[in-house]
Amino acid sequence: MSIPLIRPAATFALGEKEHNYYTFSHNSYQVHFMPDLVISNVQSQVPGLAEQRLAALDLRLPEAEITGLTGPSGSGKSLLLRAIADLDPSTGEVSLADCSWRSVPAHEWRKKVAYLPTESDWWFETVGEHFFQPDIDSLQRLGFEKDVLNWKVLLISSGEKQRLALARCLSRLPEALLLDEPTASLDEAHTCAVEQLVSEYMRQRTVPVFWVSHDPEQLKRLTRRVMSIQPDGSINGNFVNR
């Protein structure tokens, strides 16, 4: 049996290191092991912004990997994620598994590429009305019992809303995750539960994840590389030293 050839297909610089994406060749077929969510020259163009300082982003987010995003408050992290999710006007191009965001209706793109804000919207009276097909296992792993679906939204805390919003997001089976400080309102135990649930979902469904956090220890635990927005609006990337 011949041994398949593996060779670098592309190389990009990130910080002071380089990372190769490999091509696997055997007989007459070729499989590319490369990032699944491709972001090309994306920049938010929200009307009314007095100044757009955040640089355009070019980045490949690998499948089954969490990429971190950090930066000062107000630097544009949420705007960037909203642009990738096609929630705000923007320049550039984003594709997922060779599907361009310009080739599908916006609501279909957002099913594929799910944006989870720090504070999610709730518009019905009870929790269960916000779920199409609730995953009871995910709810239990996040500290809830099945009766949570009967809870009144007005009576739940910000931390409970944040965990429930994640469960709601994952129940729709997105193909990429854009998480905007998903543990900002949580204690240590619930933060750990969220990190474990997202990591398991990522591995099982091989989805790329873009995770915003102000916690360097969290980013060190979860990610292999972190993009950092600088005060001048530039975006730098570095691999995480474990």
Could you report the per-residue pLDDT of 193-217, keeping only the tens digit for each? 999 999 999 999 999 999 999 999 9
pLDDT for residue 56: 87
How confident is the model over 79-105, as pLDDT tens digits? 999 999 999 989 999 999 889 998 999
Average pLDDT, the chain: 84
Lowest mean pLDDT among 13-17, 82-86, 87-91, 157-161: 13-17
CB 40 within 8 A of CB 56: no
Contact, 169 vs 121, CB < 8 A?
no
Return the HEC string of the chain.
CCCCEEEEEEEEEECCEEEEEEEEEECCEEEEECCCEEEEEEEECCCCCCCCCCCCEEEEECCCEEEEEECCCCCCHHHHHHHHCCCCCEEEEEEECCEEHHHCCHHHHHHHEEEECCCCCCCCCECHHHCCCCCHHHHHHCCCCHHHHHCEHHHCCHHHHHHHHHHHHHHCCCCEEEEECCCCCCCHHHHHHHHHHHHHHHHHHCCEEEEECCCHHHHHHHCCEEEEECCCCCEEEEECCC
Instruction: Give the model confidence (pLDDT) of 38-82 as tens digits.
Output: 999 998 888 766 456 788 889 999 999 999 999 998 888 999 999
pLDDT at 241 over 70: no
Query: In CATH, what number does 35-239 get?
Result: 3.40.50.300
* pLDDT at site 48: 66
Instruction: State yes or no: pLDDT of 6 exceeds 90.
Output: no
Residue 4 in this model has a pLDDT that exceeds 60 = no
d(CA 8, CA 216): 31
Distance CA 55, CA 206 (A): 29
Task: Tell me the percentage of the chain whose pLDDT exceeds 90.
Answer: 69
- With a cut of 50, say whether residue 10 has pLDDT above it: no
208 compared with 241, residue with greater pLDDT: 208
Q: What is the pLDDT of residues 213-224, one digit of tens each?
A: 999 999 999 999
Domain boundaries, the chain: 35-239
Output the pLDDT for position 47.
Answer: 75
The CA distance from 167 to 176, in Å, is 15
pLDDT score of 27 more than 80: no
C-alpha distances out from residue 231 to 84, 86, 102, 238, 239, Å: 21, 25, 31, 17, 20
Q: 96: closest CA among 181, 203, 178, 6?
A: 178
Would the pTM of this model clear 0.85, i.e. be above it?
no
